[in-house]
Structure 1
C-alpha cells in the first residue's frame, strides 16, 4: 500500500501542516492547564517544539507566514471591538498617563543600559531602547475569559498599548530616516499628511460607510462577517500606506465597528469564536517558532539576554506601580496591569528584525530579544491569570443587586415576520450577565393545531435567529391552548414567572378592537408584569440616541427601576446616549436610579406640557429609538396624552423605531376596584371605556361618509 503523499520533514503537505496545527491548538492548552500553566504559554512552547529550531516539523512557510500576522491583526481588532467606549473615556486620563509612562520609562532606562552596559552607538541604542517600550496584548484573551474586560486596569492596559506602540512605531520611522541621513522637512510633512488622511478615513468615513452597509446586510450574517474581515484588512492597508504598523489600523477598525456590533450579538460571538479558536492561536504558534534556544551557548549571549530580560520586566513594572499609587489601584489591579502590559511579541520582533537587517543590531541582540519575548509572555500570562482571577472574584462581590435578579422575558408571537426583531430587542434589554432564557410563546385556540404550529414556529425561530444577532440556544419555545389569546399569554407569564413581556405593535385598528378591545388592551388588564410593545422598522444596532418620554409619577410604580435598567442595558449594548423627558420629581428619581451606573451617559430634560408632546417629537430622528413610558389605565402614572402619542408619531414618521412601556403594577383590582361581596367595579369601568370607543368609532364613520 502506498500513501497518496510523501511525508517529509519539515512538513510540506498543506493537509498535514494544518492537521498538526489543529492538534496543537486543541491539545496544548488542555495539557498545560492541567499543570496550572495558562493555555497561551502552551501554544507558544508548542511553537518552539515543532518549529525550525526544535523538531523542525514546521518551517516558516507561506501558511504560517500568512495566518500568523492575520492572528495578530485579529487580536488587535478584537481589542478595539470589545472595549467599552464609555469606560475607556471614563479612564482616559489614567490611560494617557500610563501610556506615557510605559513609553518614556522603558525608553530612558533602555537607552542608558544600551549605551553604558551593552556598548551600542546612539542610533542602535535608541532602536533597542524603543523595543523595551513595546507590548502586545498576548494575555488579553485571559481577561476576556475571566469577564474583566471592563475593569479599569484592563482599560488602561489597552489604552497604554495603543499609545506606546503608536509612539514606538512612529519613532521607528524617525530612527530609520535618521540612520539613512534623510530626516528632513519633507519627511515630517509626508508623515503628518498621511497620518491625518488615515485617521480621518478610519474614524469618520469608515463608521458612516459601515452603518449604511450593515443596515442593508441585516439578517445576512455570513455577509456581515465577511464585511467585518474586509474592514480589518482595508484599515491595516491604510495604516501601512500612512507609514504606520497595520496593527494600529486593525485596532482603529475595531473602534469604528464597536458601536455597530452589540457585545451580546451572534455576530460578536462569531467574531470572538473564530478569532480565539483559529487566528489568534496561529499567531501564538508563530511567535514560538521564532525562538531558538540553541543560540545561548556563550557567556556573553547569556549576559546580554539576562540584561535585556531584566530591563524589559522592570521597565514595565515601574509604570504600573506609579499608576497604582496615583489612582489608588489595589495590588491585584496593579499586577493585572503589569501582566497585560509586560508581554512583547509582534512589534518587538518587527523592530529588532528591522535593526538586524539594517546592520544596527547583531545576532546576540536578536537572540536575546527572542528570549525576552518568551519570558515576558510567560510572566504576562501568569500575572494576568492569577491577578485576573482575584479581580474577577472581587468584582463579582460588588455586582449590583439588579444584575443578579431574574430577567425572564416572555415573547408572545402572532406574526412570524416579527420573531427576529422581538428576539433581538429582548436580548438587548436583558443584562449581559443574566443566565435566564427567553420564552417565545404561541397561543392556539385548540389542541389540534398545537403540534403543527409548534413545528412551524420552531423552524421559523431557528431560521430567523440563525441569520440575526441572537443565539438560538437561549430561546425556549413555549405554547398554550386558549380561545382568548390574552388569557393564554397571562397564564404563561404567571407559570414561567416572567419579569417582562415583549410584544409586537399592531398599527392597524379594526372594528373588533374598538368594540371589544385589542389583545394588548386585554393583556394590560390581566397582567402585572412590565410590558414592552415594540415597533422597529430599522435595525436596532444602528441606534444613535435613545429618547425616553416618561409620564409624571412613573417613579411611584413598582416596576420603575426594572424598566430603567432594561433601557440602560439597551443603551450599553448599542453604546447610545440616553435622553429622559419628564417632570422634575420623576427625573430626580431616574437620576437616583442610574447614579450607580457610571458607564451610562444620560441627559435629563424637564418637560411638563404633555398636551403638547409634538414639541418634543418634532426634534426626534429616524436614527434614534424612542420609548414612551406610561402607566396602565386608571393608575396614578397614566397619562392620556402620552397614551396616544406612539400612534400619532407612527402616522407622521412610519420609519421611526419606538416602544411604549407599561411598567409593572399590582393587579388592577388591588389598586383601583372597590369590592363589595365579590362585586367589582372593573366590569363597569371597562364597559364605559368600550362605549367611549364605540362613540369615537361612529364619529369617524360619520365623518368619512360626509
Structure 2
C-alpha cells in the first residue's frame, strides 16, 4: 500500500511540475518544452531532489517517447516531398551530409568514442518541424515555394537521422539475433504487410453505430494498433524511438478526421509527452559545467557547431536551388532548431551508454537555445523577405 502511495506521489510531482512550469513560461511567452525541461531540472536529483524515480515512472516516460515519435510520424506527409523532389533533395542532402560531418568531427576531437561521435553527427542532422511549421504559418510563408521546400527538407532530414540511428543501434546493441543482411529486407516486408493490413483492421473493428461513439472505439483502436505495431517492431529488433515513428507513418492514412487527431494530440501532449520531457530534465545535470574539465568548451563546440553547420549548409543549398540571399538565410535559420527528435535521440544514446551525461546536458542546452532563438530569427528574416518582395512589385518611378 505504501509503495502504491509513493508511486502516486511521484506521478503527481511530475504532473504538477509540468502544469506549474508550463503556466509560468506561457505567461512569459516562452516555449512549453523548455518549461518542462527546466521543471524536471528543478525537481530532479540535481535540483531540489523532490522526485523519487520508479519503474512505473520510467515506463510512463518510455510511453511518452513512443507517443512523441508517433505524433511526429503521424504529422509527416511523405507526399509533400514529391512536388519539389529536386529542390528538396538538394537541400535535404546538403543539410544532412555537412552537419553530420561536422558533428562527427567535433565528437572525435572532443574525445568521444567512434560510435558516440557518429551518434553526435546523427543528432546534428535532426531538426524540429514542430518549431518551423508554426513560425512559417505565423509569418504567412507556409504555403509558399520557400515554405514547402524547407518543411519538406526538414521532414527528410528527420527521417534520415532516424534511419541512420536505427542502423547504428542495430549494429551496436541489436535486440534480436537476426543478421543485418536479413533484418532490413524483413523490416521492409513487415512495413509493406502492415501498410495493407491496417486499413483492413480499421474496417473490421471501427465503430459503425448510428449513435455517437461515446466509448471512443475509434480512439481505442488507434491506440491498440499503435502499441501492436511498436511490439512487432521491437520483436524485430527496432528501438522504441524508431518503432513509434514508423507506427505514426503507417497509421497516418487511418487518422484523417480532425476530431480524432485532436483527441490523439490531447492525450499525447496532455499527459504522456510532458512526462517524457520532465524526466529528461531530471537527468540533466548543469553542475557538470563546474565539475567536469572541458565541459564549457564541449558546450561551445557542440552548440556552435550545430547551429553553424545547419545555417551554412541550408544557406548554401538554398542559393544553389535559386533562392535569394535573404531567403537562403531564412532557410538556413529554419533548419537550426533542435528539439523533439534531438532530445529523443540524445536520451536513447545516453541510455545505451554511447553519450555521457555532459554531452546530453549540452544537447538539452542546444535545444533550449535553438528553440528560443530560432523563431525570433525566422520572424525577423521573414519580414525582410516580404519587404524585398514588396519592393520588387512596386513600379519603378521614371
CA contact (8 A) 2:98 2:313 kept: yes
Indicate how the Cα distance of structure 1 residues 213 and 144 shifts in structure 2: closer, same or farther if over 3 A, else same.
farther
CA contact (8 A) 1:103 1:167 kept: no
Task: Give the alignment partner of residue 36 of structure 2, picking from 29, 33, 43.
Answer: 43
> Which structure: greater strand fraction?
1
Query: In structure 2, what is the equivalent of residue 332 of structure 1?
Result: 330
Tell me the distance in 2 between the aligned counterparts of 1:49 and 1:25: 11
Shift of 1:43: 0.9
Tell me the distance in 2 between the aligned counterparts of 1:168 and 1:391: 33
Task: Give the alignment partner of residue 369 of structure 2, picking from 372, 376, 379.
Answer: 379
Shift of 1:140: 1.4
* Larger gyration radius, structure 1 or structure 2: 1
User: Equivalent residue of 1:344, what SS?
Assistant: helix
Shift of 1:45: 0.7
CA contact (8 A) 2:312 2:332 kept: no
User: Equivalent residue of 1:299, what SS?
Assistant: coil
Tell me the distance in 2 between the aligned counterparts of 1:305 and 1:235: 38
Shift of 1:39: 2.0
Tell me the distance in 2 between the aligned counterparts of 1:64 and 1:369: 24
- Root-mean-square deviation (Å): 3.6
User: Equivalent residue of 2:50, what SS?
Assistant: coil
Query: In structure 2, what is the equivalent of residue 174 of structure 1?
Result: 171
Query: In structure 2, what is the equivalent of residue 464 of structure 1?
Result: none
Query: In structure 1, what is the equivalent of residue 349 of structure 2?
Result: 351
Query: In structure 2, what is the equivalent of residue 205 of structure 1?
Result: 197
Mean Cα deviation higher: 283-292 or 340-349 = 340-349
Shift of 1:304: 3.4
Alignment of 1:308-319 (within 5 A): 308-319=302-313
Tell me the distance in 1 between the aligned counterparts of 2:253 and 2:189: 22
Shift of 1:57: 1.1
Tell me the distance in 2 between the aligned counterparts of 1:343 and 1:247: 9
Tell me the distance in 2 between the aligned counterparts of 1:102 and 1:65: 34
Query: In structure 2, what is the equivalent of residue 255 of structure 1?
Result: 249
Indicate how the Cα distance of structure 1 residues 252 and 92 shifts in structure 2: closer, same or farther if over 3 A, else same.
farther
Alignment of 1:424-573 (within 5 A): none
Query: In structure 1, what is the equivalent of residue 114 of structure 2?
Result: 125
Indicate how the Cα distance of structure 1 residues 35 and 167 shifts in structure 2: closer, same or farther if over 3 A, else same.
same
Tell me the distance in 2 between the aligned counterparts of 1:287 and 1:208: 38
Tell me the distance in 1 between the aligned counterparts of 2:381 and 2:261: 24
Mean Cα deviation higher: 95-104 or 53-62 = 95-104
User: Equivalent residue of 1:228, what SS?
Assistant: helix
Shift of 1:342: 9.2
Indicate how the Cα distance of structure 1 residues 94 and 275 shifts in structure 2: closer, same or farther if over 3 A, else same.
farther
Indicate how the Cα distance of structure 1 residues 200 and 191 shifts in structure 2: closer, same or farther if over 3 A, else same.
same
Indicate how the Cα distance of structure 1 residues 341 and 64 shifts in structure 2: closer, same or farther if over 3 A, else same.
closer
Query: In structure 2, what is the equivalent of residue 82 of structure 1?
Result: 75
Query: In structure 2, what is the equivalent of residue 238 of structure 1?
Result: 232
Shift of 1:378: 0.8
User: Equivalent residue of 2:261, what SS?
Assistant: helix
Shift of 1:269: 1.4
CA contact (8 A) 1:52 1:289 kept: yes
CA contact (8 A) 1:132 1:312 kept: no
> Which structure: greater helix fraction?
2
Shift of 1:157: 1.6
Work out whether 1:70 is the aligned partner of 2:70: no
Tell me the distance in 2 between the aligned counterparts of 1:260 and 1:217: 18
Work out whether 1:162 is the aligned partner of 2:156: no
Tell me the distance in 1 between the aligned counterparts of 2:63 and 2:381: 31
Shift of 1:215: 6.3
Shift of 1:248: 2.7
User: Equivalent residue of 1:375, what SS?
Assistant: helix
Query: In structure 2, what is the equivalent of residue 277 of structure 1?
Result: 270
Query: In structure 2, what is the equivalent of residue 17 of structure 1?
Result: 10
Tell me the distance in 2 between the aligned counterparts of 1:67 and 1:375: 24
User: Equivalent residue of 1:345, what SS?
Assistant: helix
CA contact (8 A) 2:338 2:367 kept: no
CA contact (8 A) 1:312 1:372 kept: no
Shift of 1:309: 3.3
Shift of 1:95: 4.5
CA contact (8 A) 1:99 1:163 kept: no
Query: In structure 1, what is the equivalent of residue 395 of structure 2?
Result: none
Work out whether 1:188 is the aligned partner of 2:185: no
Indicate how the Cα distance of structure 1 residues 230 and 82 shifts in structure 2: closer, same or farther if over 3 A, else same.
same
Tell me the distance in 2 between the aligned counterparts of 1:32 and 1:251: 29
Tell me the distance in 2 between the aligned counterparts of 1:390 and 1:206: 44
Cα deviation, 1:184-222, whole Å, max 9, x if unaligned, reads xx8332322332233223333223433443364785361
CA contact (8 A) 2:70 2:246 kept: yes
User: Equivalent residue of 1:335, what SS?
Assistant: helix
Tell me the distance in 1 between the aligned counterparts of 2:302 and 2:56: 31
CA contact (8 A) 1:48 1:54 kept: yes
Could you tell me which runs of 5 or more consecutive residues in structure 2 were left unpaired when the two chains were aligned: 388-398
TM-score (norm 2): 0.78
Work out whether 1:214 is the aligned partner of 2:214: no
Shift of 1:285: 0.8
Tell me the distance in 2 between the aligned counterparts of 1:244 and 1:289: 26
CA contact (8 A) 1:225 1:267 kept: yes
Tell me the distance in 1 between the aligned counterparts of 2:362 and 2:377: 22
Cα deviation, 1:73-104, whole Å, max 9, x if unaligned, reads 21222223234454343245445444444443
Tell me the distance in 1 between the aligned counterparts of 2:115 and 2:384: 41
User: Equivalent residue of 2:294, what SS?
Assistant: helix
Query: In structure 2, what is the equivalent of residue 32 of structure 1?
Result: 25
Tell me the distance in 2 between the aligned counterparts of 1:396 and 1:233: 45
Indicate how the Cα distance of structure 1 residues 12 and 260 shifts in structure 2: closer, same or farther if over 3 A, else same.
same
Indicate how the Cα distance of structure 1 residues 137 and 229 shifts in structure 2: closer, same or farther if over 3 A, else same.
farther
CA contact (8 A) 1:104 1:133 kept: no
Indicate how the Cα distance of structure 1 residues 57 and 98 shifts in structure 2: closer, same or farther if over 3 A, else same.
farther
